[in-house]
């Protein structure tokens, strides 16, 4: 895809796209079209509406966004252009942004347009259409439109990287693949990458992480990425759950196993975010850890009732081998705090069905011990359509994780407060860090949607984390 901003000689054959924000914006649309005004019965600019017509010998696509559209609304509307109107765009595209469009709305539109090129048909004999040579004109009154286009390209590339990591099959996305992905990022960007194999992980005391990977023929990989800008004043630590496929272990899953390639949605989000931070050159110090394992079943698989160790020095009674994500996160959180001392610590994980039972597929469950961090993450998510909502982590819930034989157990085994007790388990391995947040993204990282016939990755977390980091950096620079 080749972008050109405000060309002196605009194309007369490219599909002209005019976004319209409700009836108040219809006057602007009328100024852009020579022909008689459209009847409101045909098009009124309502959210999720569109209308194609021919004007002055060229095709025009009107995108209805509704009054005061949110970021996600604009992104989705523009994503439909190439996802659902490919034939109309064969001669190129001309995006005609109204003067009322803000930089944020323009960014959302550009990102959405690029995301519309994504397809999950990776292994089909007939390959998905390529848009690599598509010419796109961007007409905008914004002074920084060139920078906005460049920024949107980088954000969209990160989101599509997260899409792929979740959508590709588990025989492709293995712990080794994630490690190689990280190493490749390190070669292309100023990111320092370390990968621990089984031997190294054992010497570092990552016992809970290794226990989960014991049943798989695929060696677990403990992945560490560090990006440090010379002007950084803020150190953020990210940990993403990287279970590349989850059978449930010996507590084998009885349903929904086909979707368990998505159990590394947290890893996909933090890896893609790290790529984006490096691509944008944000003035931040970022350390990212991805404990990558496959939770499989064989003679060496860890056992229910087994007592295992952990990096934090706490012994863990295994109640359920399908509560494996919190085990690898426990070692990831502990290692990050002890060895890197970040100012703030955030982990993302497709952790519990309980979070879906509480919020459905509308938002992530947010747990944190810091009010400012909680507000910041919620506000950032609202701004880009990646919502979260807080649940309590009162100490009363920690008692549910008490073990008779060990320091803590990995599952309370009761039909209530599953997401909360999982969060309390994780908190026990943060060494009392004063600014920690856990996002349970089980309901929002892999979903049914309009752009595929099956569930696909959403890249939840990438936009949220970027918005949060840039907001926090802005505060520290004041």
Task: Write out the catalytic residue numbers.
Answer: 253, 326
Q: CB of 195 within 8 A of CB of 150?
A: no
State how beta strands 436-440 and 364-368 pair.
antiparallel
Strand order in the sheet with 408-409: 307-308, 316-317, 408-409
**Alpha-helix runs per DSSP H in 95-174:** 103-115, 145-167
**26 - beta bridge partners?**
none
Give the list of residues 6+ apart from residue 416 with CB closer than 8 angstroms, or none. Answer: none
Phi/psi for 246 (5° steps) reads: -125, 105
Phi/psi for 277 (5° steps) reads: -60, -45
- Other Cβ atoms less than 10 A from the Cβ of 46: the count is 15
Q: What does the block give as tokens for 24?
A: 């108040």
DSSP 389: E
Q: CB of 436 within 8 A of CB of 430?
A: yes
CA nearest to 379, candidates 311, 315, 472, 451: 472
What is d(CA 473, CA 283) in angstroms, rounded to the nearest whole number?
8
Q: CB of 218 within 8 A of CB of 247?
A: no
Q: CB of 266 within 8 A of CB of 242?
A: yes
CA nearest to 244, candidates 167, 170, 306, 189: 170
What is the torsional sign of CA 166, 172, 174, 179? negative
**95 - beta bridge partners?**
17, 138
State how beta strands 364-368 and 344-349 pair.
unpaired
| DSSP E strands, 356-434 | 364-368, 388-390, 408-409
Q: CB of 19 within 8 A of CB of 63?
A: yes
Q: What does the block give as tokens for 137?
A: 């004109």
At 403, is the secondary structure helix, strand, or coil? Answer: coil
Integer-rounded Cα Rg, in Å, for the chain is 24
| C-alpha to C-alpha distances, 67 to 18, 24, 37, 89, 348, nearest whole angstrom | 15, 8, 19, 26, 33
């Amino acid at each position: 895809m080749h972008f050109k901003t405000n060309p002196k000689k605009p194309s007369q054959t490219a599909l002209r796209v005019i976004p319209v924000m409700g009836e108040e914006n219809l006057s602007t649309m009328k100024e852009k079209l020579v022909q008689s005004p459209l009847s409101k019965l045909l098009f009124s600019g309502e959210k999720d509406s569109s209308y194609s017509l021919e004007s002055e010998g060229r095709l025009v696509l009107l995108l209805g966004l509704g009054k005061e559209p949110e970021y996600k609304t604009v992104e989705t509307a523009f994503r439909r252009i190439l996802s659902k109107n490919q034939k109309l765009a064969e001669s190129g595209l001309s995006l005609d942004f109204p003067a009322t469009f803000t930089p944020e709305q323009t960014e959302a539109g550009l990102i959405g347009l690029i995301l519309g090129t994504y397809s999950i048909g990776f292994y089909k004999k007939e390959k998905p259409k390529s848009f690599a040579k598509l010419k796109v004109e961007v007409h905008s009154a914004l002074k920084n439109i060139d920078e906005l286009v460049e920024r949107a390209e980088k954000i969209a590339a990160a989101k599509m990287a997260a899409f792929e990591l979740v959508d590709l099959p588990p025989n492709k996305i293995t712990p080794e693949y994630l490690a190689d992905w990280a190493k490749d990022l390190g070669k292309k960007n100023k990111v320092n990458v370390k990968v621990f194999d089984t031997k190294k992980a054992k010497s570092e005391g990552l016992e809970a992480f290794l226990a989960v990977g014991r049943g798989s023929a695929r060696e677990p990989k403990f992945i560490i990425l560090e990006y440090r800008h010379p002007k950084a004043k803020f150190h953020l630590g990210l940990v993403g759950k990287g279970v590349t496929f989850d059978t449930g272990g010996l507590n084998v899953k009885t349903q929904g196993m086909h979707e368990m390639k998505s159990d590394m949605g947290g890893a996909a989000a933090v890896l893609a975010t790290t790529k984006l931070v490096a691509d944008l050159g944000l003035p931040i110090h970022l350390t990212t850890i991805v404990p990558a394992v496959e939770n499989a079943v064989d003679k060496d698989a860890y056992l229910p009732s087994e007592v295992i160790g952990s990096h934090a020095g706490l012994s863990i009674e295994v109640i359920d081998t399908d509560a494996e994500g919190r085990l690898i996160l426990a070692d990831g959180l502990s290692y990050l705090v002890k060895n890197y001392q970040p100012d703030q610590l955030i982990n993302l994980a497709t952790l519990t069905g309980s979070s879906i039972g509480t919020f459905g597929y509308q938002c992530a469950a947010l747990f944190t011990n810091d009010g400012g961090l909680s507000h910041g993450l919620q506000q950032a998510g609202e701004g880009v359509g990646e919502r979260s909502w807080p649940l309590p982590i009162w100490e009363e819930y920690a008692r549910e994780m008490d073990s008779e034989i060990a320091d803590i157990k990995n599952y309370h085994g009761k039909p209530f407060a599953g997401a909360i007790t999982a969060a309390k388990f994780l908190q026990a391995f943060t060494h009392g860090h004063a600014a920690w947040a856990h996002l349970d993204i089980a309901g929002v990282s892999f979903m049914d949607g309009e752009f595929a016939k099956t569930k696909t990755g959403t890249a939840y977390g990438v936009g949220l984390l970027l918005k949060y980091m840039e907001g926090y950096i802005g505060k520290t620079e004041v």
